[in-house]
Every structure is written in structure tokens, then in C-alpha cells.
Amino acid sequence: MNDPVVPNPWTALRQFTDARIALGRVGASLPTREVLQFDLAHAHARDAVHSALDVTALTATLRLEGWLTCSVESRAPDRARYLLRPDLGRRLHPDSLTRRSCEAAAVDIAFVIADGLSAVAALRHGVPLLAQIRALLSPDWRLAPITIATLARVALGDEIGARLRSRLVVMLIGERPGLSAPDSLGAYLTYEPRLGRTDAERNCVSNIRPAGLSYQFAAQKIVWLIAQALKRQLTGIDLKDESDLTLLPG
């Protein structure tokens, strides 16, 4: 029996893109192998969306690295409601507001590690990224304890930052998983965080993962933005990320 799979003689072009090109076909359809590869990638993404952040493990790892930590939850009661009601994920649960461990003197920067849409990303990349960031921080900057936030959206950082009396909040949050990466981390910086900040008032560094934007480059971008934000007293559309101009080798 002849192989019914019609191959595509342009597989060499795969060197230029990770897109699913030259998959071949059976009749009008994808070959079995490609269908299952796609389904596997989707399964990874689905599991990433629905997995919960292991706060105990993350806290232990952070403390081993010498960080102080505290943890907060949003008002979303569970993962399903979290997906349906983004507004709940943007507000702190009333119980979280009274946690004494989150109270501190006024600081310059509050880092938050949040599950967002990929707890896997937060768990895998939060701590190693913070290690790279720490190496670049100015000793003059006062830091809040690292906040671990669950069932969180980006804007939850506004209330956390305000609560911590921080000049700047840096939200390290799991991004919506794609098929090529279920574990991309995003960093959102907001100057003078408080309820009601808009996305236009934030800066974002996206696709942080070893196979995407490396920890080292991401840390350089984030710290460049931190320094600019504290100096110019703003984040958002008026603060263009020009870190490449100063960071590129040579």
C-alpha cells in the first residue's frame, strides 16, 4: 500500500519559522501525526490555564533565595469564576487587605508574582527572573516583600502596590498560553499604583521564558524601565522602552 501522506517539498523553509508549515496532507486533511502533535500542544496549554499556583512551594523557594514574602488572593472564588469575571481578579479579597505580613514602611518597588492565565509560568520563571533582576537593582531602592498573588489579573497589582505604599509595582504574571509556549511570563510596571489605573499607564515586557525573552534580557529591560519610571515618575505610553539602545552588545 502506498503511503497516503502527500509530503511538502519545502520542509527546508522550517528553518525560518516555528509556524507549522510543510505539514503534508492526506487528501484535504492533516496527517495523523500532526493532528496529535497539535492536540498535545493544546493539552499543555489547557492544563496551564487550569492549574493552580503552588503558593507553599513558591514561598519556600523565595525564602531559600533570601526574599521576604507575603501572599494575597483576589476576589475570584475559583478558577472558573476567575475566567468568567476578570473584574473579580482585579480586586483584592477583603481578607487579604488585613494581612499584617503585607504591611511595611513606604518602599520604592513592590514585586508581585501572580498566576494570571498560566500558574506554570509564574512557578517556573518567577524566582529565576527575580534573581537576575536583583543583581541589577540599585542598592538605594527600598523593596517590599515579594507578594504572591493568586487568581490575579494584571490590575490586581494596583491595589497591592497601593496597599504596600510602593512608588512602583512590578507584576510578574503568567500570560495567556499559546500552543508554542504554555509558560510565558509577562512583566507589567505601573508607577504610583492605585485602583483605577488603565493599561495605557503601564509598561509591559512580554514572552519571558528561556526559549523566548531570556531571564537575563528580560531583567535588563525591566530594570531599565524601573530606573526610568522612578526617575521620570511615570509609566505607560509616555515611557517608551528604549532599553535596546543602551543594552545591545557592541
Partner 1 sequence: MSYRHTIAHQVYRFPDLKTVLAKASPARSGDYLAGIGAVSAVERIAARLCLADLPLRELVESPVIPYDEDEVTRLICDRHPAALFSEIAHLTVGDFRNWLLSEVTDEVTLTRLAPAITPEIAAAVSKLMRNQDLIQVSRKCRVITRFRNTLGLPGRLSVRLQPNHPTDDPKGIAAAIVDGLFYGAGDAVIGVNPASDSLSVLKELWRMLDDVIQRFEIPTQSCVLTHVTSQIRAIESGVPLDLVFQSIAGTEAANRSFGVSLALLAEAREAALSLRRGTLGNNVMYFETGQGSALSAEANHGVDQQTCEARAYAVAREFEPLLVNTVVGFIGPEYLYDGKQIIRAGLEDHFCGKLMGVPLGCDVCYTNHAEADQDDMDNLLTLLAAAGVTYIMGVPGADDIMLSYQSTSFHDALYLRSTFGLRHAPEFEAWLVRMHLIDGAGMLQPVTGRNPLLRALTDMTRAVGFHA
* Positions in the binding site for partner 1 (CB under 8 A): 6, 8-10, 12-14, 16-23, 25, 27-30, 34, 38-39, 41-42, 45-46, 48-49, 83-87, 117, 175-182, 207
10 Å CB burial of residue 88 (0-12, 13-18, 19+) is middle
Closest CB to partner 1 among residues 14, 232: 14
Closest CB to partner 1 among residues 30, 137: 30
Smallest separation (angstroms) from partner 1 to the CB of 41? 7
Smallest separation (angstroms) from partner 1 to the CB of 134? 28
Closest CB to partner 1 among residues 6, 97: 6
Smallest separation (angstroms) from partner 1 to the CB of 125? 16
Smallest separation (angstroms) from partner 1 to the CB of 81? 10
Closest CB to partner 1 among residues 32, 138: 32
Smallest separation (angstroms) from partner 1 to the CB of 24? 10
Closest CB to partner 1 among residues 21, 68: 21
